[in-house]
């Protein structure tokens, strides 16, 4: 059986204490690095070729890496649980904030920031970051996005991920769009929900449509349908993987792995549950720092939504 270490290691074409490691693949992009015989690591750009790696380049990268590693430190203690908050150097040469350290067999204290990471921007010197700024960055974690504003049932938030800063709007997923339903005739709405597709959705949701009286107004019909087609997280979590795959297809949910689309069958059950229960739309930000400074008006405009007038 092939040795996994050998399969992911490439020797340099000259005598060196380093070897090239293929590294992780994220969004189909490889992140190689140099590994020294004492486990010292140096990140490499994804596009680099073996021919470009010379003794001179290694010496230069080594010097930069050692200088960067000297900036790693404990910046403060968590105000919630007392765990250490670290400035860490990432594999691609950028710095980030990290809450605590995972240790095998060691139970961590419960904390709102547990296992979170936050960004340090490229134009920042980690030495100048304050404890308050470090804790603020946890609000830009994908697990704890920064809430900007709420409107028409949508929550607008920002975060910083592996591809930069982004804005998102999310809400509890609805089978029907209420505004579209309002533009339809009463007969059209009734015919729509009687289609095989929507009857199957109801079946998976363990719901059924209550009898609609002929005298019911369009508004009452819409209200009744939204209650009957409500997606309840507790119910969704009890469904089998096959049912979740089918439901995601019926709801026309698009799934991604990194930047690339994937089949519903290839998604994890937890991912399917999350996508079915919550509807999200993302927009990239020009700069990761915008995730920290964008205003309610700016984020609404980014999604083409107008701010409602306050009465």
pLDDT tens digit sequence for 97-139: 999 988 887 788 899 999 899 999 988 999 999 999 999 999 9
Helix (H, G, I), strand (E, B) or coil at 74: strand
Report helix angle 218-228 to 186-193, nearest 10: 20
* pLDDT average, residue stretch 256-272: 90
Question: What share of the chain has pLDDT > 70, as a percent?
Answer: 97
The larger pLDDT score, comparing residue 142 to residue 212, is at: 142
Query: Quick check: pTM over 0.85?
Result: no
CA-to-CA distance for 92 and 101, rounded, in angstroms? 20
CA-to-CA distance for 43 and 33, rounded, in angstroms? 4
Helix (H, G, I), strand (E, B) or coil at 236: helix
pLDDT in tens, 211-262: 777 778 888 889 888 888 999 999 999 999 999 999 999 999 999 887 789 9
DSSP-H helix ranges across the chain: 4-7, 55-69, 131-137, 178-182, 186-193, 196-204, 218-228, 233-237, 241-250, 269-277, 290-293, 296-302
CA-to-CA distance for 90 and 88, rounded, in angstroms? 6
Helix (H, G, I), strand (E, B) or coil at 81: coil
Q: 156 has which bridge partners?
A: 149, 169
Cα 224 from chain centroid? 34
Q: pLDDT at residue 38 above 90? A: yes
Instruction: Give the pairing of strands 255-257 and 84-89.
Output: unpaired
Length reported for the chain: 311
Question: Helices (H), strands (E): how many in the chain?
Answer: 12, 14
Q: pLDDT at residue 310 above 50? A: no
């Amino acid at each position: 059986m092939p040795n996994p270490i050998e399969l992911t290691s490439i020797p340099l074409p000259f005598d060196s204490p380093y070897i090239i490691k293929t590294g992780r693949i994220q969004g189909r992009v490889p992140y190689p690095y140099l590994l020294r015989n004492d486990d010292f690591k140096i990140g490499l750009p994804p596009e680099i070729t073996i021919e470009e790696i010379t003794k001179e380049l290694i010496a230069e990268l080594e010097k930069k890496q050692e200088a960067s590693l000297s900036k790693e430190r404990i910046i403060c203690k968590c105000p919630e649980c007392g765990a250490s908050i670290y400035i860490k150097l990432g594999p691609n040469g950028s710095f980030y904030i990290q809450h605590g350290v995972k240790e095998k067999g060691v139970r961590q204290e419960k904390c709102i920031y547990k296992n979170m990471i936050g960004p340090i921007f490229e134009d920042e010197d980690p030495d100048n970051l304050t404890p308050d700024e470090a804790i603020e960055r946890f609000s830009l974690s994908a697990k704890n996005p920064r809430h900007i504003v709420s409107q028409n049932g949508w929550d607008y938030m920002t975060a910083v991920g592996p591809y930069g800063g982004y804005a998102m709007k999310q809400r509890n997923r609805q089978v029907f769009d209420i505004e579209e339903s309002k533009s339809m005739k009463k007969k059209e709405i009734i015919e729509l929900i009687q289609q095989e597709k929507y009857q199957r959705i109801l079946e998976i949701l363990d719901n059924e449509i209550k009898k609609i009286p002929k005298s019911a107004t369009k508004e009452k019909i819409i209200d009744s349908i939204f209650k009957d087609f409500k997606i309840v997280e507790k119910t969704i979590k009890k469904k089998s993987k096959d049912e979740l795959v089918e439901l995601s297809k019926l709801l026309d949910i698009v799934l991604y792995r990194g930047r690339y689309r994937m089949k519903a069958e290839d998604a994890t059950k937890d991912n399917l549950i999350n996508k079915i229960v919550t509807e999200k739309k993302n927009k990239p930000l020009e700069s990761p720092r915008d995730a920290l400074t964008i205003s309610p008006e700016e984020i609404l405009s980014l999604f083409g939504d107008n701010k409602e007038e306050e009465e």
